[in-house]
Chain A
Amino acid sequence: SQQGEEDPQALSIQEGENATMNCSYKTSINNLQWYRQNSGRGLVHLILIRSNEREKHSGRLRVTLDTSKKSSSLLITASRAADTASYFCATVQAGNNRKLIWGLGTSLAVNP
């Protein structure tokens, strides 16, 4: 079963612009993770944010988490053509701290 929904489903921007993707989920979580998937490298972990954290940064990535709204956002700043990929959020549910429950993903195209 899918836990989350990403918004938008597809996003097309120019190189250098920022890209923002949102994720909503349904149940209480232990943590939320963002992954990137492209045909060349498969699924790659980007960043993890725990339920007691509100914001995290990693390089050009900024993730926020609002547990009251059950939502998260991923911001990619100064995008590059190499950022073209599908981005998924995945949650580890509170009390069931094993499997990842995934959203449907956002397809990002960064045009040179």
Chain B
Amino acid sequence: GAGVSQTPSNKVTEKGKYVELRCDPISGHTALYWYRQSLGQGPEFLIYFQGTGAADDSGLPNDRFFAVRPEGSVSTLKIQRTERGDSAVYLCASSLAIAGGPAGYNEQFFGPGTRLTVL
């Protein structure tokens, strides 16, 4: 079946602009996660959705970052007034249920990422 998809694959924008990054999770996966990965680093948690609600947004770096998942499937990560430091690969993942559930339900399936470059 189809995996997690993310669009666009690459986004180049200018400092100060607004961007939206989209994630299509695996059908039936209730949990959706956004991470950010800078060059040479491991992914960094941003926000997690369980269904339509943001269950944990403690990783969002500031109020320029916002994410929605209005129908419990597709999610959009929105970044306002982009800064050069926002440049990174933004990864989306989905899973069947929250971590800590039955064995096999904890695996997160990742999309290919969106490479954001802020000039």
Give the interface of A toward B (CB within 8 A): 1-2, 4, 30-31, 33, 35, 42-45, 48, 50, 88, 90, 92, 96-105
Contact = CB atoms under 8 A, between A and B. Distances in A.
Interface of B: 31, 33, 35, 40-45, 48, 50, 55-56, 58-59, 91, 93, 98-100, 103, 106-113
User: Shortest 6 CB-CB distances between A and B: which pairs?
Assistant: A97-B100, A102-B42, A43-B110, A99-B45, A92-B99, A45-B107
Contact of B108 (A45, A104, A105): A45
Nearest to B111: A42
A31 B106 CA distance: 9
A99 B111 CA distance: 16
A105 B39 CA distance: 11
A52 to B, nearest CB: 12
A42 B106 contact: no
29 contacts: A31-B100, A33-B106, A33-B107, A42-B110, A42-B111, A42-B112, A42-B113, A43-B43, A44-B110, A45-B109, A48-B103, A50-B103, A96-B56, A97-B100, A98-B31, A98-B48, A98-B56, A98-B99, A99-B56, A99-B58, A99-B59, A100-B35, A100-B43, A100-B45, A100-B108, A102-B42, A102-B44, A103-B42, A105-B41
A65 B119 CA distance: 43
Contacts of A50: 103
B110 to A, nearest CB: 4
Given A97-B98, A98-B99, A2 B42 contact: yes
